[in-house]
Amino acid sequence: MGGFPFLDGTMFRISQHMQELSAPRQPGPKLNPPAPVVIWNLIRRCNLTCKHCYSISADTDFPGELATDEIFVVMDDLKRFRVPVLILSGGEPLLRPDIFDIARRAKSMGFYVGLSSNGTLIDAANIARIADCDFDYVGVSLDGIGETHDRFRQMPGAFDASLKGIRLCRDLGLKIGVRFTMTQDNAQDLPRLLELVEDEGIDRFYFSHLNYAGRGNRNRQDDAQHRLTRWAMDLLFDTCREYQERGLHKEFTSGNNDADGVYFLHWVQKNFPDKAANIRARLVQWGGNSSGVNVANIDNLGNVHPDTMWWHYSLGNVRQRPFSAIWTDVSDPLMAGLKQFPRSVSGRCGECRHFDICNGNTRVRAQQLTGDAWAEDPGCYLDDEEIGVAPGRERVPLTPYIKIRRAS
C-alpha cells in the first residue's frame, strides 16, 4: 500500500529526503500523527494468489467478515479517535459489493482514503464509479514486467490487465502508484519497471522489501540477498535524484525495511558529504519503524494487528471492543514493546550506532525466524562497519520456512 501522506513512520519517503539535498530544512522533533494510519483489509477473497501475500488470500468467500453496518460503526470510532487515513485493501477490495459505499462514506467523513488493488478488476465497467469515489490515491501492485508479474500473481494475463487498470485511473486524473515487492526472482525487472513508471506517467513508485508474513513467510528463501538489495536501493536513489535534477516530480518510497534510512545516509555521505549532518538529523526526526504506533491494521474479521505483517498476532477484535480502546491498551506485551521509545532490542540492532534512525527495523522478521520479536532483524542489509558494531559476529541466519511461530 504505497504512497500515502501521514505514513512517514510506515515507509521511507525517498523523494522527501532527497529534496533535502537541494532545499534543506531545519530539523525538529519527531512528530507523530494524532492516531495511526489504518490499513483495512475489508475482504480476504482475491482473484489472484500472489506468492508474497501476507493475508494468504484465495478466490473463495471467507465466512465471518465484517458487514457494512459493522464497518460504519468502526469508522465512527476511528474518526472520533482522530485516525487521519484509511487505506482500503484486501484481498481484492473491488470484490466487495459495498466497496464504493464504504469509500464514499469515508471521504464524506474527512478521511484521506486510498485504494490498494491488484488492478486487474479496474475496467471500463467500473472506472467511473472508482473515479466518483474521489480516492486520494490508488495503488496497484506490479511485481515485474509481463511474464514475471504473471508468474508471481499466478495468473496469465495479470500484467496486461493491471496495466490497463492503471491507465484507466491515470486517464481520469486519479493519483496512481505502483508497488513492487522484490525477491531474487524478479529483481532483474526493476530497471524496466522504473522505465514503465516514467513512460506511463505514473505518479509514485513504492519499493517493498519482502516481509515474512503470509505467503511472504513461506517464500522467504526467495528474499533478495543483501548485495542485491543494496544494488536496488542505489538504483532507486540515483533515479530519484535524476528526476529532481531534471525538475520532474515523481514520488519514490520504500517500505518494510527501515535500514533504508541508514543506507540513504551512507549514500549521502558518499555523494554529498557536506549535506550528511543535516540529512542525519532529518532521518532521526523521521524515526524509522513505528508499527503499533503510527500504523495499524484491521483484518476482514475485525481483528486488530500492529501492522499488516502481524496477522498471526491479534490485539483484539472490534466486535468486542472499539479500536480506540484496543490501540491504547499496553497490557499486551508486544504492543507495550512496540510503543516503548526507544525500543529494547538485542543483538546487532541493539548495538547499532544508527538505532535512532531505524528504531530497530521491522520486528516481524526477527520473530518469525527466532521466536523473539526483540532479536536482531535478519533483514538488515548493512554491514558491521556501517552500523558501528564489532566485526565478525555470527548473524541470525536466513532459514527456509517451516511454520509461523507465535509472537513472544
Amino acid at 406: R
Residue 404 in this model has a pLDDT that exceeds 60:
no
Rounded-to-integer distance, Cα 80 and Cα 322, Å: 11
CA neighbours within 13 Å on the CB side: how many for 262? 25
Average pLDDT value for the chain: 89
* Amino acid 223: pLDDT: 45
Pairing of strands 85-89, 295-298: unpaired
Contacts of 91 (CB under 8 A, 6+ apart): 41, 42, 43, 44, 45, 46, 55, 57, 300
Q: Which of 32, 109, 92, 29 is nearest to 296 (CA)?
A: 32
Would you place residue 155 in the very low, low, confident or very high pLDDT band (cuts 50, 70, 90)? confident
* Amino acid 59: pLDDT: 56
| Partner residues linked to 38 by β-bridges | 86, 296
Segment 70-82 shows an average pLDDT of 98
Would you place residue 7 in the very low, low, confident or very high pLDDT band (cuts 50, 70, 90)? low
Amino acid at 224: A
Residue 152 or 388, more confident: 388
Would you place residue 50 in the very low, low, confident or very high pLDDT band (cuts 50, 70, 90)? low
Would you place residue 293 in the very low, low, confident or very high pLDDT band (cuts 50, 70, 90)? very high
* Amino acid 153: pLDDT: 85
Rounded-to-integer distance, Cα 176 and Cα 206, Å: 11
Residues 118, 94 contacting (CB under 8 angstroms): no
Amino acid at 22: S
CA trace torsion 335, 338, 342, 348 (10° rounding): 130
Residue 406 in this model has a pLDDT that exceeds 50:
no
Q: Which three cell numbers stand for residue 178?
A: 505502483
Amino acid at 172: L
Residue 125 in this model has a pLDDT that exceeds 90:
yes
Segment 344-361 shows an average pLDDT of 96
- Is cis: bond before 91, omega within 30 of 0? yes
In the chain, pLDDT over 90 holds for what percent of residues?
77
Note the CATH number of domain 12-333. Answer: 3.20.20.70
Rounded-to-integer distance, Cα 111 and Cα 105, Å: 9
pTM over 0.85: yes
Grid coordinates 524478479 are at which residue? 186
Residue 152 in this model has a pLDDT that exceeds 90:
no
Sheet of 137-141, strand order: 12-13, 251-255, 204-209, 176-182, 137-141, 112-117, 85-89, 37-41, 295-298, 303-305, 316-317
**How do the domains of the chain map onto residue ranges?**
12-333
Would you place residue 212 in the very low, low, confident or very high pLDDT band (cuts 50, 70, 90)? low
| Partner residues linked to 180 by β-bridges | 207
CA 73 to the chain's CA centroid: 26
Contacts of 394 (CB under 8 A, 6+ apart): none
Backbone angles phi, psi at 386, to 5 degrees: -65, -25
Would you place residue 105 in the very low, low, confident or very high pLDDT band (cuts 50, 70, 90)? very high
CA 110 to the chain's CA centroid: 23
Q: Helix, strand or coil for residue 39?
A: strand
> CA dist 84 to 68, 78, 319, 336, 361, Å?
21, 9, 22, 23, 24
Contacts of 125 (CB under 8 A, 6+ apart): none
Per residue in 222-275, pLDDT (tens digit) is: 345 788 999 999 999 999 999 999 999 899 999 999 999 999 999 999 999 999
Amino acid at 90: G
Q: Helix, strand or coil for residue 397?
A: coil
Would you place residue 55 in the very low, low, confident or very high pLDDT band (cuts 50, 70, 90)? very low
* Amino acid 396: pLDDT: 79
| Angle (CA) 211 176 20, round 5° | 75
Rounded-to-integer distance, Cα 181 and Cα 216, Å: 10
| Angle (CA) 219 214 181, round 5° | 60
Q: Helix, strand or coil for residue 120?
A: coil
Q: Helix, strand or coil for residue 81?
A: coil
